[in-house]
Amino acid sequence: MKRVGIEVSIAIAEAAALAEVEVVSAYPITPQTHIVEHLAELVANGELNAEFITVESEHTAMSAALGASLAGARAFTSTSSQGLALMNEIVYITSSMRAPVVMALANRSLSAPISIWNDHSDVMNERDTGWISIFANNGQEAYDLTFMAFKIGEHPNVLLPVMINFDGFILTHVIEPVWMFDKEEVKDFLPPYEHPYKLDVDRPTSHGPVGLPDIYTEAKKQQEEAIRNSRKIIDAVWDEFAERFGRRYRAVEEYYADDAEIVLLTQGSVTEAAQVVVDEMRKRGKKWGVVELRLWRPFPFEDLKKVLCNNNIKCVVVLDRAISFGGQLGIVMSEVRSALYHEKNKPMVVGVTAGLGGRDIRFDEYVKMYEIGEKCLKEEKEPDKVIIVGLRE
Amino acid sequence: MIEVKRPKEAFLSVFAYRMAPKEELFTRGHRACQGCGAALGLRHVMKAAGRNTIVVNATGCMEIVSSPYPYTSWAVPWIHVAFENAAAVASGIDAAIKVLKRKGKLDPNKKINIVVFAGDGGTADIGLQALSGMMARGHNVLYVCYDNEAYMNTGVQGSSATPYGAHTTTTPAGKVKFGQGYWKKNLPEIAVAHGIPYVATVCPSFPLDLIRKVKRALELPGAAYIHLFAVCPTGWGIPPAYAVKAGRLAVETGIFPLYEVEYGRYRLTFDKKLKPVEEYLKFQRRFRHLTPDLIKTIQERVDAEFARLRVMEEATNRPDYRSVSGI
């Protein structure tokens, strides 16, 4: 392992190259572009023995990745925002056809108005597509998680696609110190990709048949079980990684949650910013903490209950980076609230939204989020509408 | 006048059917309608392609009739993903085969064909972009468009491959409209414009011609496009027993000219004195409202297209003709 200063996009591309991806099919979109540019360069220089398909759309990017994956090649793609929205149809089919494609998703807001900057509206739009979905909050995590995604998705008991989320620009375009592996170090960590039912002329199989009403429900149930059961493999892979390389990843990460009264629940790069706020405010006597929902799908119900229903935490302020228009306030907030519904000692769940379309969240705005929690606790009332922090009125 | 050598099969094909390979890879038991020209066409494409073939099927009639789980009519690896992306999926499979051969994970000497089957809607309309990308990148894929001239699977809606004047459920003939109001999109020419090595038109009523062209398409490196005329008795309103005859008449009247374009060189594989288009139009329900004026317009267009193809054939076979395709 060597520690190098590297642009996070390049590190993610290096993680895919470390996994010796065999087919890369990708289409340019900001802020994802540097990732695939770097992979194209590695292929052009003969450093990566792969086929790079310069597709004519993201829809084709995902279609080609799916085809390559089921033909027996390790497939990788990367996109953002509108690109993900365009490929949506095939994103859903890729998980349904059990093709373990890995996608690096540089999170960016959705049009309109068009915005190339960061929030989570793209990934939330794909919430129910059946992919394993994981958030990274810094460059090191993006690198590690991308590499491990192949091992998780390709496991014969999983065979599901995996998307790694990392914030556009905030992470993709920033140079960070990252511990990078040598090939030798990880050689036996990631086994070669072998799909048990690949497109093989010596062993013909039919993929993607018609599911009449007598079979569709059962097919969907199988898919649901598959992603639920993938949790065991996710934990096993992360544990093995921790044992071998010393960096541990958990479905739900905590920061001072054990003795905090109020925690902010985050996803992605805001996590570390919130941790800085907590460090500072703890000096001023505030018993605040941070809980990061790293694993988005499959949703870590038990882990979340264990962390949040610990008798200390009185209020969880959930920071959503996307809006469900006309729906249940925040998307993550409503999931967290319903996950805790049956718990006796559940904390109050409050939803805030901030950082849409690349707007920075300032120190005092994080403080404001905790203060909203304090106010709700004092009034003993969960607010019934979304509170947008940093909104100009 | 330049003498163009034409293969004899084109003329023999109607009579020498026993020469076709016996192996069935698109097997019986599928749910296609009686007299389905597309099913007949696929069966013969598969005879020509052989066992070492991966089939990519776009959503459409042929996908639906051949794969109601747990049944399958395919004796070769087969994949269906969505409507508009068959060429894209095939591109990914081609890339996978290339890299796996390079890495020794697949036998580098084993030729594996990739054949796409997509309907005219999945090709001329919603799948055109993916097809164009696949051809431009030059993937080793044979794309077969089975053209039954409308969205038959959803109940006969007009596509941009629906012929001028045809009645469909979205281009109905009424008191002020006469059916499809614009000319059929010329997909083979779009394929030719991509400079790919091989483009051909085939009709299952000429099975040996079809088999020869498919074999040729698979022999040549890079992308190939075959436009397969698929008579649809259900959608066109003809008796199933007339399906093969309708295909033959489409060719004999020039409505559907049989030709191939190899490295830019055109060759008409059926070039005889054409019968009047009326013979083809008159027994189909979808054309029964056509007035003599409209039939005359169609005749003019057919004559012009056939004449254009003859000119192309002559021009591209001159000794000084240089094709961009193959460089």
Instruction: Give tens-digit pLDDT for A369-378.
Output: 999 999 999 9
- The beta strands (E) that lie in B142-237 are given as 142-147, 198-202, 224-229
- Which among B80, B219, B194 is positioned nearest to B137, based on CA atoms? B194
**Residues A202 and A271 reside in one and the same domain:** no
DSSP B275: P
Residues in CB range of A272: below 8 A, 6 or more apart: A137, A138
Please name the residue of chain B whose CA is at the shortest distance from the CA of residue A59: B85
Interface test with A, best of B51, B57, B66, B99 (most A CBs within 10 A): B99
Decide if pLDDT at B11 tops 80: no
Choose the final residue of a domain: A219, A245, A271: A245
Kindly state whether residue B1 falls inside one of the protein's structural domains: no
Taking CB atoms and an 8 Å cutoff, what residues of chain A touch B54? 71, 199, 201
Taking CB atoms and an 8 Å cutoff, what residues of chain A touch B67? 206, 208-210
Decide if pLDDT at B12 tops 60: no
Contact A67 B63 (CB under 8 A): no
DSSP B124: I
**Residues A191 and A261 reside in one and the same domain:** no
Q: Which of residues 132-191 of B touch A (CB under 8 A)?
A: 132-133, 136-137
Name the pTM for this structure.
Answer: 0.96
- Determine the structural domain holding residue B208 and report its residue range: 9-316
% of chain A surpassing 70 pLDDT: 100
For the segment A15-34, the average pLDDT, to the nearest whole number, is: 98
Kindly state whether residue B86 falls inside one of the protein's structural domains: yes
For the segment B66-82, the average pLDDT, to the nearest whole number, is: 97
Per-residue model confidence as pLDDT tens digits over B144-191: 999 999 999 999 999 999 999 999 999 999 999 999 999 999 999 999
Q: Which long-range contacts (CB under 8 A, 24 or more apart) does B242-245 make?
A: B242/B35, B242/B283, B243/B35, B243/B36, B243/B37, B243/B40, B244/B40, B244/B204, B244/B205, B245/B205
B129 closest CB neighbour out of A57, A65, A200: A57
State the pLDDT confidence band at B15, using cuts at 50, 70 and 90. Answer: low
**Residues A256 and A238 reside in one and the same domain:** no
SS3 assignment, position A228: helix
pLDDT at residue B326, as a whole number: 76
Per-residue model confidence as pLDDT tens digits over A193-235: 999 999 999 999 999 999 999 999 999 999 999 999 999 999 9
Decide if pLDDT at B3 tops 80: no
| Tally of domains in chain A | 2
Separation CA B147–CA B161 (nearest Å) = 7
Helix axis angle, A331-339 to A301-308, nearest 10°: 80
A50 closest CB neighbour out of B68, B76, B99: B99
**Residues A282 and A233 reside in one and the same domain:** no
Separation CA B145–CA B227 (nearest Å) = 5
Return the half-sphere exposure (C-beta side, CA atoms, 13 A cut-off) of residue A127. Answer: 12
Kindly state whether residue B324 falls inside one of the protein's structural domains: no
B78 closest CB neighbour out of A53, A69, A206: A206
Decide if pLDDT at A35 tops 70: yes
**Residues A225 and A111 reside in one and the same domain:** yes
- Which among A111, A108, A117 is positioned nearest to A165, based on CA atoms? A108
Contact B77 A59 (CB under 8 A): no
pLDDT at residue B153, as a whole number: 95
Please name the residue of chain A whose CA is at the shortest distance from the CA of residue B94: A68
**Beta strand pairing call for A162-167 and B198-202:** unpaired
Decide if pLDDT at B9 tops 70: no
Separation CA B249–CA B299 (nearest Å) = 14
Taking CB atoms and an 8 Å cutoff, what residues of chain A touch B91? 25, 53, 55, 60, 63-64, 67
For the segment B245-251, the average pLDDT, to the nearest whole number, is: 98
Per-residue model confidence as pLDDT tens digits over A323-348: 999 987 799 999 999 999 999 999 99
Taking CB atoms and an 8 Å cutoff, what residues of chain A touch B63? 210
B102 closest CB neighbour out of A49, A66, A93: A49
Residues counted in chain A: 393
pLDDT at residue A385, as a whole number: 78
A55 closest CB neighbour out of B80, B97, B133: B133
Any idea what the CATH number is for the domain that residue B267 is in? 3.40.50.970
A146: left (phi over 0), alpha (psi -120 to 50) or beta: alpha
Decide if pLDDT at B17 tops 80: no
Q: Does A105 touch chain B (CB under 8 A)?
A: no
**Residues A257 and A215 reside in one and the same domain:** no
Minimal C-alpha gap between A270 and chain B (Å): 36
Please name the residue of chain B whose CA is at the shortest distance from the CA of residue A93: B81
**Residues A225 and A323 reside in one and the same domain:** no
State the pLDDT confidence band at A384, using cuts at 50, 70 and 90. Answer: confident
Interface test with B, best of A49, A57, A60, A94 (most B CBs within 10 A): A60
- Could you tell me if the ipTM is greater than 0.95? yes
Taking CB atoms and an 8 Å cutoff, what residues of chain B touch A201? 51-54, 76-77, 112
H or E segment to which residue B261 belongs:
strand B259-262
Q: Does A213 touch chain B (CB under 8 A)?
A: no
Minimal C-alpha gap between A293 and chain B (Å): 32
Cα-atom radius of gyration of chain A, to the nearest Å?
A: 21
Identify whether the C-beta of residue A55 lies closer than 8 Å to the C-beta of residue B129.
Answer: no
Contact B92 A25 (CB under 8 A): yes
Decide if pLDDT at B7 tops 90: no
Any idea what the CATH number is for the domain that residue A348 is in? 3.40.50.920
Per-residue model confidence as pLDDT tens digits over B214-242: 999 999 999 999 999 999 999 999 999 99
For the segment B45-74, the average pLDDT, to the nearest whole number, is: 97
Q: Does A326 touch chain B (CB under 8 A)?
A: no
For the record, the structure tokens of B24 come out as 């069935």
Helices (H), chain B: 9-12, 37-49, 61-66, 86-102, 120, 128-137, 187-193, 207-219, 233-236, 243-252, 278-281, 292-316
% of chain B surpassing 70 pLDDT: 95
pLDDT at residue B163, as a whole number: 98
**Residues A241 and A303 reside in one and the same domain:** no
Kindly state whether residue B44 falls inside one of the protein's structural domains: yes
For the segment A299-328, the average pLDDT, to the nearest whole number, is: 95
Minimal C-alpha gap between B62 and chain A (Å): 11
Decide if pLDDT at B21 tops 90: no
B291 burial class (0-12, 13-18, 19+ CB within 10 angstroms)? exposed
Least trusted range by pLDDT, from B16-20, B48-52, B187-191? B16-20
**Residues A30 and A136 reside in one and the same domain:** yes
Identify whether the C-beta of residue A102 lies closer than 8 Å to the C-beta of residue A229.
Answer: no
| Tally of domains in chain B | 1
- Determine the structural domain holding residue A240 and report its residue range: 2-245
Kindly state whether residue A393 falls inside one of the protein's structural domains: no
Any idea what the CATH number is for the domain that residue A150 is in? 3.40.50.970
For the record, the structure tokens of B8 come out as 């004899």
Kindly state whether residue A140 falls inside one of the protein's structural domains: yes
pLDDT at residue B325, as a whole number: 83
Decide if pLDDT at A122 tops 90: yes
**Residues A155 and A283 reside in one and the same domain:** no
DSSP bridge pairs for A352: A319, A387
Q: Does B100 touch chain A (CB under 8 A)?
A: yes
**Residues A179 and A276 reside in one and the same domain:** no
Choose the final residue of a domain: A197, A225, A245: A245
A-to-B residue pairs, Cβ atoms closer than 8 angstroms: 153
Decide if pLDDT at A362 tops 80: yes
What is the distance of C-alpha B262 from the center of its chain?
16
Decide if pLDDT at B8 tops 60: no
Decide if pLDDT at B4 tops 90: no
Decide if pLDDT at A191 tops 80: yes
Kindly state whether residue B322 falls inside one of the protein's structural domains: no
pLDDT at residue B6, as a whole number: 58
Q: Does A68 touch chain B (CB under 8 A)?
A: yes
A206 closest CB neighbour out of B74, B90, B136: B74
State the pLDDT confidence band at A129, using cuts at 50, 70 and 90. Answer: very high
Q: Does A206 touch chain B (CB under 8 A)?
A: yes
**Residues A200 and A265 reside in one and the same domain:** no
Kindly state whether residue A133 falls inside one of the protein's structural domains: yes
Q: Does B54 touch chain A (CB under 8 A)?
A: yes
- Which among B18, B21, B39 is positioned nearest to B30, based on CA atoms? B39
Separation CA B56–CA B49 (nearest Å) = 13
